[in-house]
A and B are shown apart, each in its own frame.
Chain A
Amino acid sequence: MRINKKCLAVLAAATCMAATAVPALALENEFHGMFRLFSAVTNFNATPVTDNVFYLPEGLDKKPDTATYIAQRARLMYIAKANDDLKLVTHFEIDSRWGDNSYTTRRNVGGAIGADTVNLETKHVYLDFNIPKTPLNVKLGMQPFDDAFKGVFVGADMAGALASASYGKFNSSLGFFRFNDDATGSVPGKRTRDMLVIDEKYSVSKELKVGGAYYLVNDDRPTNSIVHTLGVNSEAVFGPVTVDGFVIYQFGNLEANPANRQHLSAFAANVGARGKVGAGTARTEFLYVSGEGNPGGRGTSNAFQSIDDEHGFYNGNMQLLFRDAYAMTIDNAIVYTSNNLDRGVIAGFVGYDMPFTSKFSASANAGFAAVAKDADNRKSNYLGTEINAQADYKLYDNLTATLRGAYVILGDYYKGVALNGQDPENPYMTSFMMNYSF
């Protein structure tokens, strides 16, 4: 009996201790998010000349109406973290333009009086876990993925599986993503567009990193196109200056048009540099993407095959010439994709970022762009030059107010293309933003 009492007392104490230990085993709930208010006055975004995301002023009034709009975006992220090796990541988005619509069921609206719109978008739902006793990390599900080439090929949310491992100076990734599975009139898994990813990075030293990546995109939807994208990249530090860049070659078969099946032979290259100059940071980038002068008219196409409009080259910090990094649902550009309507692109950029105080900073940028190949017999390949500037003021650590302005001097590519053979008006945009993230 005495032994039993002792046992009971020990058991009770152990139970109490176990109860107090529960919080350590509990799930860690992590919430993050952002809010952006974007207001603009422009003759470019959301006007007839950019109705199809690209800038297409051909045959339209040379002077588009001035658009003024206020749009907002919220993103909410919830991470259910079991421990450092296992978590579920979910990420949602709510977009609208003030006054656009209400009491409806559609994405990107809900800004009209009354609100009450079903407009929650799911961006990510994936499991992120480490395999015990190995250096392997796995991400399974709808997740963000960016290519190893500054976004000229693909950078989007996509469903798939990505396994990565860091060992010594190497970092390797192997992935499979399913872009589309068109089961209409078929069964799942038959008419798909998939991507296989192999990515390797090697740190030669603290100052030099080299890497290579291979992306295989197989499209079995209408016919059977296959695109191999093979590239190398590097980043080197020379004192205060960092230089990086890449070279990509693409080959394969394009069979979207069965009447004219084409071989693909295309390439893209980039070099960029940034470094401390005075109190600020100077940046420069150069980009070449090959184009096709006779789209669909030859047995071989030189048009670089970027993935739809699911990517963007943002390193030039452009607002109109290339896609604007702060654009939300209203998102237009003269060069909207790397493929650039099969024309390719040649572009160069310079910029300077200046922190005046811990709260106030500013930056200025300039960039030019031309088509690599002109299929329309224009007066010139030259698309235009953009100059832009922005000033940022931090109201709090995580709330910034930003005022920006951008202006493009159009090149002779657009000479006389507007209605009645007139030159289209040079595009401009002034914008004001509030950005909060937590």
Chain B
Amino acid sequence: MKKIAVLVMTAVALSSAVPAMAQMTKEEKDQCLLASKNCMTEVDSIQKRIKKLNTEIKKGTKVYSADEIKKLEQKLKEANEILSTLEKQGGGGK
């Protein structure tokens, strides 16, 4: 029983470590250091996010359910609102 428990725990521990190991092998160059690409902490810019959402919404009901498309459309609306808020005019005040 003890052995089984140790095995289970090892398997779980290893599974959580996989993403970090998958980032880079010995042969690969570290593109994160070299060109600020494929960094583990990299996040999408708002423009990239809008582009991705549009691409996914275009896939339509072949890939997503009607509810999921609605959710993606809501996220697209939010992303567009963030961009327009950032670029909104005014704010100088007197």
Contact = CB atoms under 8 A, between A and B. Distances in A.
B57 to A, nearest CB: 16
Contacts of A309: 94
A15 to B, nearest CB: 9
Given A12-B5, A437-B47, A108 B86 contact: no
B86 A75 contact: yes
A206 interface: no
A91 B85 contact: yes
A437 B83 contact: yes
B81 to A, nearest CB: 9
Contacts of B91: 73, 93, 95, 121, 123, 157, 328
Contacts of B20: none
A108 B92 contact: yes
A6 interface: yes
Helix, strand, loop or mixed for chain B's interface? helix
B94 A314 contact: no
B5 A13 contact: yes
B55 interface: no
B89 A325 contact: yes
A20 B94 contact: no
A156 B86 contact: no
B4 interface: yes
Contact of A33 (B4, B71, B86): B86
A83 interface: no
Interface string B68-88: 000100000000001101111
Contacts of B13: 16
B89 A327 contact: yes
B32 interface: no
A436 B46 CA distance: 11
A151 to B, nearest CB: 9
B46 A13 contact: no
Contacts of B1: 2, 5-6, 9
A397 interface: yes
A123 B4 CA distance: 56
B8 interface: yes
A355 interface: no
A322 B80 CA distance: 25
B92 A77 contact: no
Interface residues of A, number: 52
Interface in A77-96: 77, 84, 91, 93, 95
A105 to B, nearest CB: 16
Contacts of A6: 1
Given A5-B2, A32-B46, A438-B45, A312 B83 contact: no
Contacts of A53: 94
A16 B48 contact: no
Contact of A31 (B4, B16, B43): B43
Contacts of A312: 89-90
B12 interface: yes
B36 interface: no
Contacts of B87: 34, 435, 437
Nearest to B88: A144
Given A9-B2, A77-B82, A331 B16 contact: no
Contact of A329 (B2, B16, B92): B92
A330 interface: yes
A326 interface: yes
A33 to B, nearest CB: 7
Contacts of B25: none
A17 interface: yes
Given A312-B90, A327-B92, A328-B91, A438 B46 contact: yes
B67 to A, nearest CB: 13
A33 B46 CA distance: 9
Considering the complex of A and B, which 4 residue pairs feature the smallest CB-CB distances, nearest first? A9-B5, A329-B92, A20-B16, A438-B45
Interface of A: 2, 5-6, 8-10, 12-13, 16-17, 19-20, 30-34, 53, 73, 75, 77, 84, 91, 93, 95, 107-108, 121, 123-124, 144, 155-157, 309-310, 312, 314, 323-331, 397-398, 435, 437-438
Given A121-B91, A398-B46, 9 more contacts: A2-B1, A9-B2, A13-B12, A123-B91, A331-B90, A397-B45, A397-B47, A437-B47, A437-B86
17 contacts: A5-B2, A6-B1, A9-B2, A12-B9, A13-B12, A20-B16, A33-B86, A73-B91, A77-B85, A121-B91, A144-B88, A310-B90, A326-B89, A327-B89, A327-B90, A331-B90, A398-B47
